[in-house]
Chain A
């Protein structure tokens, strides 16, 4: 059972371009979370999705950022018109559809976005 897969691992974009970050959750997991970690800072929650639904986007910047988790395929975090301040590590996590607290979320190894 492969873990949470994120790609690309490293992404370089020029200012004004679009960045697309992909996350394939673990098999059987229907909950996906995205986090951002700015250089030398902590992990900040961005958005929580279930298949085809955004459940909580309280941590998403109001502009330029969007996320989706389609019925088929990976979850995508899209950043339009990137700026230097978007340079960060973006982590994805997934968890199974459990209604108890007795499972855990698994994290991918992240995508490191550098805006030049």
Chain B
């Protein structure tokens, strides 16, 4: 599977949008972009995923560039409870094993 690169850490003011970038320049045509997060000491939580089109759900929006070489996870109104490590992961199928990289540690600041 192709690899992803994410910034090590980011800060975001409470109430503002958090924009978390992910580069995946060697993504293959059948790989989905998945985002998970892990709030301290809890199990990882699925956020959103997409293939080509932008996606939105109750938690977040996922913007994928036209060439699919990068994507951005957007938390529209970050709260303190969004402080977590966010992982951008590529998978061909839903039953691929999820391989976690170091992710981005997001701190939401009051």
Nearest CB in chain B to that of A93: its residue: B98
Q: Check A104 against B94 for contact (C-beta < 8 Å).
A: yes
Q: Are B98 and A105 in contact (CB under 8 A)?
A: yes
Residues of chain A within 8 A of B99, CB atoms compared: 45
Q: Using Cβ atoms and an 8 Å threshold, which residues of chain A touch B94?
A: 95-96, 98, 100-105
Interface size on B, residues (CB 8 A): 25
- Determine if A45 and B51 form an interchain contact, defined as CB atoms under 8 angstroms apart: no
Interface residue tally on A, bucketed by range: 20 to 34
Say yes or no for B101: interface residue by CB 8 A criterion.
Answer: yes
Which residues of A sit under 8 angstroms from B38, Cβ to Cβ? Answer: 43
A104 and B93 in contact, given A43-B38, A45-B98, A91-B44 (Cβ under 8 angstroms):
no
Measured between beta carbons, the chain A residues less than 8 angstroms from B97 are 33, 45, 48, 56
Chain A: residues with CB nearer than 8 A to chain B? 4, 31, 33, 35, 42-45, 48, 56, 89, 91, 93, 95-110
Q: List 20 A-B contacts (CB under 8 A).
A: A4-B43, A33-B97, A42-B100, A42-B101, A42-B103, A43-B100, A45-B100, A48-B95, A91-B44, A93-B44, A93-B98, A95-B94, A97-B95, A98-B95, A100-B93, A101-B92, A104-B94, A105-B46, A105-B98, A110-B42
